[in-house]
Amino acid sequence: MQIAQTNFHGDHNLGLFGKSSDKVCILGNFVPDKAVEKIESLLKVNVLKTNIANTDLAGIFCCMNSNGLILPGIVSEREFAKLKILKKNYGMNVTVLKTTFTALGNLVLCNDKGAVVSKIFSKREKKKIEDCLGVESEYASLAEITTVGSCGVATNKGCLVHRDASEEEIKLIEDVLKTPVDIGTANFGSPFVGSCMIANSAGAVIGESTTGPEVTRIMEALSFL
């Protein structure tokens, strides 16, 4: 099974608390050990548990692919020192983005082939994101919403985005991420699919309130069927 459903202490919005690439998964410290074991088995990666910005909301405050991890300026020195191990163990860039925006996980949608970034970033900030992630990027929105990271989840095999994304938005993301894109929901109708799950090319862990038809749509979009 490439998809599993769970919760973190009753919270079904799993994407708020973690991000995964095909190399490693980062989770907030409060994620239960039982869930960590399930995620490591399903996504076929090691998990690194850490706070970011003195919170468990690792999925909100970072963006990541297999090439790099980008952190907000509010990351603590202790947290940054812990996360730098990704450079040693996985050869990943670890960068702090100097910007007034902190919820980077909500503002960037990426895989190992490309990235789409919120239109609120400057060109300089966009270039820094490209340099860290090792990919080209384009400005984009989803359903005319600028928080593209919360509105989508992308792997190297597929991408699921906000149910109201336009054909033009979908075509742009397909071109940039070089992967098929489909629309859908999770957690019983939420269009903010990036906040509902953690996924990579091996699998996805999604909120328990996600319905059967939603699970099927997610599996199709992420090429697990």
Domain ranges of the chain: 3-221
Q: What distance separates the 2 farthest-apart alpha carbons in the chain?
A: 44
Round to whole Å and give the CA distance between 17 and 42.
17
Contacting residues for 6 by C-beta, under 8 A, at least 6 apart: 14, 35, 38, 205, 207, 208
Round to whole Å and give the CA distance between 222 and 201.
8
Amino acid letter, residue 146: T
Q: Tell me if 176 sits within 8 A of 145, measured CB to CB.
A: no
Q: Tell me if 132 sits within 8 A of 21, measured CB to CB.
A: no
* Residue found under tokens 């996360």: 83
pLDDT digits (tens, 9 = 90+) for 130-158: 999 999 999 999 999 999 999 999 999 99
Round to whole Å and give the CA distance between 166 and 49.
36
pLDDT of 1: 64
User: Which CATH number applies to 3-221: 3.40.250.10, 3.40.50.300, 3.75.10.10, 3.40.190.10?
Assistant: 3.75.10.10
Q: Tell me if 210 sits within 8 A of 35, measured CB to CB.
A: no
For the chain, 225 residues long, the average pLDDT of each consecutive 10-residue run is 93 98 97 96 98 97 98 98 97 97 98 98 98 98 97 98 98 98 98 98 98 97 93
Round to whole Å and give the CA distance between 210 and 194.
13
pLDDT of 225: 80
Strands 197-199 and 108-110: unpaired
